């Protein structure tokens, strides 16, 4: 397919219809009215506003979301504000016919689905720039900045970029993804003009990348000194001290660069369509043949906000990875999955499931006087010691070599840096290496099966089989 065709087809996928638009507009108007009524006699509430992609006209089809902000006076204490937004949000979503749910990001907000549209009722303080009292106070300024600068037609360019990033698996600043936020895609389009120009530039990126739209800094060097160890730095036009892309991991940035290169070489609609395939059990079995996996499967007892849960999972995944490497395994890859309400899975691919019976242990250099203690210590307990170069070495026999038993031991002795909130669950989790049993277990859980499939395939969605 030619590039022009791909882009016009892609736009049909990502651009809401008139009907979609009016549906969203109706929900927004209704919610705003309800919230105005609910807050009219609440002390400290200064106004109601629509923020986010709905306000900026940059949402993508099927991802209708209304972020409605309640603006508080800056003299209202934080806990009072939080209490009020929860109370008002619950009442308003119920009145609109939705089922309210308490959520947390930096502070609590209330979410509900009304006529298929996700509505978030969020609190912020009405403050001047740089006098931020809470993390959401910048949002109204972000909205205004984008609305004032996006030229007609650029909204659709943002939609193409969001659609591309979604299809490539790099869209979303949440911990689960560690990718690009909606605001970041808008700033990229503002900076480069249109979708294809973002892609062409990204294809040539070599991190670290610096984008400073308002020219707050004198040089790239100055920015890099300010924002160390961040692969992508996009200075927030409403707050020069903030990197809009701080959540973007090097891996996700690299995936976006790679996807951009590949899209230029071979434009295709596949980049905009996440491949949701229902893998066949026997394909999964043959895909896993001869490989070594270790998985940890457990159920939550208490629900928590997705970002909290994903943070715990990622931290635990990393801790287990490091523990296994310390024990002597090579961890080729690892991944986490959860249905975000109950079931959690950590999975790792390893070089082996069994360590060698013996391990080499380096002693002190010969010139130290501790060498004789070392010899006494290991006498009769190890093979050796022998001298090699300027050091002593022994071969120690391992008491345990099986990966499952070793990990269980490490967990029992509290030697694995897992998230506190998951510790008892992981300690009593199912820890196993038989991935065929896991596939069987997931047979009637399509999202889980799909995750296992993508973990076994070990490639981002935009790289074809």
Binding stretches for its own copies (CB under 8 A): 205-207, 231, 250-251, 254-255, 257-258, 261-262, 265, 290-292, 330, 332-333, 349, 351-352, 356-360, 366-367, 369, 371-372, 375, 379-380, 383-393, 395, 397, 457-460, 463-465
The answer for residues whose C-beta is within 8 angstroms of residue 89's C-beta and 6 or more apart is 100, 109, 110, 121
Write the DSSP string, 21-50.
HHHHHHHHHHHHHHHHHHHTT-TTEEEEEE
208 versus 306: smaller Cβ distance to its own copies: 208
Cβ proximity to its own copies, 304 vs 457, nearer residue:
457
Tokens at residue 327, please?
């024990």
Considering the complex, what minimum distance in angstroms separates the CB of residue 393 from its own copies?
8
CB of 462 to its own copies, least distance (A): 10
CB of 186 to its own copies, least distance (A): 24
Q: Which residues are CB-neighbours of 323 under 8 A, at least 6 positions away? A: 407, 410, 415, 416, 417
Closest distance between its own copies and the C-beta of residue 366, in Å? Answer: 4
Whole-angstrom CA distances from 92 to 36, 46, 78, 86, 349 are 10, 17, 21, 10, 47
Provide, rounded to whole angstroms, the least separation between the CB of residue 170 and its own copies: 10
Cβ count within 10 A of residue 205: 16
Contact call for residues 68 and 51 (beta carbons, < 8 A): yes
Query: Considering beta carbons, is residue 193 or 364 the nearer one to its own copies?
Result: 364
In the bound complex, what is the minimum distance in angstroms from residue 183's beta carbon to its own copies? 24
Shorter beta-carbon distance to its own copies: residue 237 or 267: 267
Minimum CB separation of residue 305 from its own copies in Å reads 28
Compute φ and ψ for 458, nearest 5 degrees: 60, 40
- The nearest distance, CB 383 to its own copies, in angstroms, is 5
Q: State which residue, 104 or 386, has the beta carbon closest to its own copies.
A: 386
Q: How many Å apart are CA 52 and CA 183, to the nearest integer?
A: 8
Which of residues 139 and 292 has its CB atom nearest to its own copies in the complex? 292
CB of 352 to its own copies, least distance (A): 5
Q: For residue 269, what is the DSSP state?
A: G
Closest CB to its own copies among 15 and 457?
A: 457
Q: Report in angstroms how near the CB of residue 262 gets to its own copies at its nearest.
A: 7
Q: How many residues does the chain have?
A: 465
Distances (CA, A) of 128 to 44, 69, 238, 348, 465: 17, 16, 10, 48, 52
Token pair for 347: 């999975």
Nearer to its own copies, 218 or 376 (CB): 376
Q: Closest CB to its own copies among 23 and 371?
A: 371
Nearer to its own copies, 177 or 257 (CB): 257
Instruction: At 257, give phi and psi (nearest 5°).
Output: -60, -45
DSSP H or E stretch at residue 310: helix 306-327
231-246 burial, b if ≥16 CB within 10 A, otherwise e?
bbbbbbbbbbebbbbe
Phi and psi, residue 269, nearest 5°: -70, -20
- Residue 295 · residue 432 · CB < 8 Å: yes
């Amino acid at each position: 397919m030619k590039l022009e065709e791909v882009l016009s087809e892609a736009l049909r996928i990502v651009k809401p219809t008139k009907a979609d638009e009016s549906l969203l507009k109706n929900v927004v108007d209704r919610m705003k009215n309800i919230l105005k009524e609910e807050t009219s006699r609440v002390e400290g509430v200064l106004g109601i506003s629509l923020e986010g992609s709905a306000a900026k006209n940059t949402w993508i089809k099927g991802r209708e979301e209304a972020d409605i902000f309640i603006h508080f006076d800056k003299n209202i204490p934080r806990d009072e504000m939080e209490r009020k937004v929860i109370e008002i949000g619950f009442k308003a979503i119920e009145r609109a016919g939705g089922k309210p749910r308490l959520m947390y990001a930096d502070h609590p907000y209330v979410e509900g689905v009304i006529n298929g549209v996700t509505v978030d009722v969020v609190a912020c303080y009405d403050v001047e720039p740089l006098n931020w009292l809470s993390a959401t106070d910048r949002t109204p300024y972000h909205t205004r900045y984008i609305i004032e600068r996006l030229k007609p037609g650029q909204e659709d360019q943002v939609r193409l970029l969001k659609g591309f990033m979604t299809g490539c698996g790099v869209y979303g600043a949440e911990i689960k993804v560690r990718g690009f936020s909606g605001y970041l895609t808008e700033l990229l389009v503002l900076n480069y003009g249109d979708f294809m120009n973002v892609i062409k530039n990204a294809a040539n990126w070599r991190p670290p990348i610096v984008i400073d739209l308002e020219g707050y800094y004198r040089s790239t060097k100055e920015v890099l000194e300010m924002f160390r160890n961040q692969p992508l730095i996009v200075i927030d036009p409403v707050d020069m001290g903030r990197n809009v892309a701080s959540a973007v991991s090097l891996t996700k940035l690299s995936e976006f660069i790679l996807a951009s290169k590949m899209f230029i070489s071979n434009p295709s609609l596949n980049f905009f369509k996440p491949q949701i395939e229902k893998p066949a059990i026997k394909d999964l079995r043959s895909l896993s043949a001869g490989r070594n996996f270790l998985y940890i499967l457990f159920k939550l007892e208490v629900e928590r906000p997705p970002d909290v849960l994903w943070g715990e999972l990622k931290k635990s995944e990393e801790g287990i990875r490091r523990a296994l490497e310390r024990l002597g395994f090579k961890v080729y890859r690892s991944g986490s999955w959860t249905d975000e309400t109950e079931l959690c899975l950590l999975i790792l691919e390893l070089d082996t499931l069994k360590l060698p019976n013996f391990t080499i242990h380096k002693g002190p250099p010969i010139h130290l006087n501790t060498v004789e203690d070392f010899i006494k210590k290991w006498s009769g307990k190890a093979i050796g010691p022998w001298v090699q170069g300027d050091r002593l070495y022994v071969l120690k026999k391992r008491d345990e070599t099986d990966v499952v038993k070793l990990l269980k031991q490490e967990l029992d002795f509290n030697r694995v840096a897992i998230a506190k909130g998951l510790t008892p669950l992981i300690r009593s989790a199912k820890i196993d290496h038989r991935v065929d049993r896991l596939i069987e277990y997931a047979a009637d859980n399509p999202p889980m099966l799909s995750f296992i499939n993508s973990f076994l395939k070990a490639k981002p969605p935009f790289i074809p089989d």
